[in-house]
Chains A and B, each alone.
Chain A
Amino acid sequence: MRYLEAGKRHAVRFTLNGELVEGEAEPRLLLSDFLRQTLGAYGTHVGCEHGSCGACTIRVDGKAVRACLLYAVQMQDRAVTTVEGLAAPDGLNALQAALQKHHGLQCGFCTPGILMSLEQLLEEEPGADEARIRDVLSGHICRCTGYHGIVQAAVEVFGEVFGKR
Chain B
Amino acid sequence: MKPAAFDYACPDNVGEALTILAERGAGARICAGGQSLGAMMNLRLMSPEVLIDIAGLDELKSIAMTGGAIEVGAAVTQAELLAWPDLAKTQPLLAWMLPWVGHYQTRQRGTICGSLAHGDPSSELPLALAVLEGEVLLASRRGRRVVAAKDFQLGMMATDIADDEMVVAARFPTAQVGAVSAFHEIAQRHGDFAIVAVAAVGNRNSVRLGVGGVADSPGVIELKWPVNNDQLNDFAWSLGGADDQHATARYRRELVRRIGRRVVDEVRDALS
What residues make up the interface of A, taking CB atoms closer than 8 Å to B?
1-7, 26-28, 30, 33, 48-52, 54, 57, 63-66, 68-71, 73-74, 117, 121, 135-136, 138-139
Once A27-B51, A139-B191 are accepted as A-B contacts, the answer to whether A66 and B5 lie under 8 Å apart by CB is no
Shortest Cβ gap from B104 to chain A (Å):
4
Which one, B8, B49, B99, contacts A71 given CB within 8 A?
Answer: B8
Does B3 sit within 8 A of A, measured CB to CB? Answer: yes
Chain B interface bracket (under 10, 10 to 19, 20 to 34, 35 or more): 35 or more
Once A28-B2, A69-B35 are accepted as A-B contacts, the answer to whether A51 and B106 lie under 8 Å apart by CB is yes
Chain A residue contacts of B42, Cβ below 8 A: 30, 49-50, 68-69
Which one, A1, A5, A52, A69, contacts B34 given CB within 8 A?
Answer: A69
B7 x A27 contact (CB < 8 A): yes
Which one, B7, B34, B79, contacts A3 given CB within 8 A?
Answer: B7
Shortest Cβ gap from A60 to chain B (Å):
8
For residue B40, which residue of chain A has the nearest CB? A50
Q: Of A5, A52, A69, which is in contact with the most chain B CB atoms at under 10 Å from its CB?
A: A69
Does B86 sit within 8 A of A, measured CB to CB? Answer: no
Once A49-B1, A68-B42 are accepted as A-B contacts, the answer to whether A136 and B104 lie under 8 Å apart by CB is yes
Q: Of B6, B34, B108, which is in contact with the most chain A CB atoms at under 10 Å from its CB?
A: B108
Does B16 sit within 8 A of A, measured CB to CB? Answer: yes
How many contacts A-B (CB < 8 Å)? 105
Which one, A4, A48, A65, A139, contacts B8 given CB within 8 A?
Answer: A4
CA distance A73 to B2 in the complex (A): 15
Chain B residue contacts of A64, Cβ below 8 A: 104-105, 108
Does B185 sit within 8 A of A, measured CB to CB? Answer: no
Shortest Cβ gap from B254 to chain A (Å):
25
Can you list 29 A-B pairs with a CB-CB distance of less than 8 A?
A3-B8, A3-B9, A4-B8, A26-B5, A27-B6, A27-B51, A28-B3, A28-B6, A49-B2, A50-B1, A50-B39, A50-B43, A51-B35, A57-B105, A63-B109, A64-B105, A66-B109, A68-B38, A68-B42, A69-B35, A70-B38, A73-B8, A74-B8, A74-B55, A117-B104, A138-B190, A139-B102, A139-B106, A139-B191
Which one, A4, A69, A71, A135, contacts B190 given CB within 8 A?
Answer: A135
Does B11 sit within 8 A of A, measured CB to CB? Answer: yes
Chain B residue contacts of A121, Cβ below 8 A: 104
CA distance A54 to B105 in the complex (A): 8
B103 x A138 contact (CB < 8 A): yes
CA distance A138 to B5 in the complex (A): 32
Q: Interface 1/0s, chain B 1-40, versus A by CB < 8 A?
A: 1111111111110001000000000000000001100110
CA distance A48 to B42 in the complex (A): 10
Shortest Cβ gap from A158 to chain B (Å):
15
What residues make up the interface of B, taking CB atoms closer than 8 Å to A?
1-12, 16, 34-35, 38-39, 42-43, 49, 51, 53, 55, 79, 99, 102-106, 108-109, 189-191
CA distance A135 to B99 in the complex (A): 9
B5 x A69 contact (CB < 8 A): no
Shortest Cβ gap from A74 to chain B (Å):
7
Shortest Cβ gap from A73 to chain B (Å):
5
Which one, A2, A28, A30, A70, contacts B9 given CB within 8 A?
Answer: A2
Shortest Cβ gap from A101 to chain B (Å):
24
CA distance A135 to B190 in the complex (A): 8
CA distance A7 to B3 in the complex (A): 12
Chain B residue contacts of A68, Cβ below 8 A: 38, 42
For residue A25, which residue of chain B has the nearest CB? B8
